[in-house]
């Protein structure tokens, strides 16, 4: 590895250590359905978002709720204290397309229709409100 690449890799590692996040990979639902749930909670305070997800009737909301709990736990682990109400918020939540399983369904007259079983990857980054206020001042 060249020196320049090593330096940028070390810089990325350092930035990643300061951020608390959680990643959920290969969720067997379409990215479009997951993005609908992600848009509901984007930018919200985490405990309010947990309430919204708990009472949503979307199947994807249960998976996002579990992932958000994991992100909160990761933040608590890094900061060595419990998160208080109103302290954390969802900084970014992104849904990316995962692998697609391709299947064939029999169709009339000897044809076959393709079925695409989509999957997705979800990433949640949580941060404190206070850090944002300090950067603005």
Q: What is the rounded CA–CA span in Å between residue 96 and residue 121?
A: 5
Does 121 map to a domain?
yes
Determine which of 16-20, 43-47, 92-96, 128-132 has the lowest per-residue pLDDT on average. Answer: 128-132
Write down the H helix ranges in 55-114. 59-79
Does 29 map to a domain?
yes
- The pLDDT of residue 129 is 86
Does 7 map to a domain?
no
Domain that holds residue 93: 22-136
* The total number of structural domains that make up the chain: 1
What is the CATH number for 120?
Answer: 3.90.470.10
pTM for this prediction: 0.86
Does 34 map to a domain?
yes
Does 10 map to a domain?
no
C-alpha pair distances (Å), 135 with each of 12, 90, 108, 128: 20, 17, 63, 12
Q: 34-68 pLDDT, tens per residue?
A: 999 999 999 999 999 999 999 999 999 999 999 99
| Mean pLDDT (whole number) for 64-75 | 96
Does 17 map to a domain?
no
Does 1 map to a domain?
no
What is the crossing angle of helices 31-41 and 59-79, to 10°?
50
Does 11 map to a domain?
no
């Amino acid at each position: 590895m060249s020196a320049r690449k090593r330096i940028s890799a070390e810089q990325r590692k350092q930035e990643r250590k300061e951020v608390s996040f959680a990643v959920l990979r290969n969720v067997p639902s379409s990215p479009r359905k997951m993005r609908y749930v992600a848009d509901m909670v984007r930018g919200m305070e985490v405990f309010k978002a947990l309430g919204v997800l708990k009472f949503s009737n979307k199947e994807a909301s249960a998976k996002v709720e579990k992932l958000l709990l994991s992100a909160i736990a990761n933040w608590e682990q890094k900061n060595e204290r419990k998160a208080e109400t109103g302290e954390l918020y969802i900084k970014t939540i992104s849904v990316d397309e995962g692998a697609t399983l391709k299947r064939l369904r029999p169709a009339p007259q000897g044809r076959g229709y393709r079925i695409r079983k989509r999957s997705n990857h979800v990433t949640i980054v949580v941060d404190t409100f206070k850090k944002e206020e300090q950067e603005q001042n």
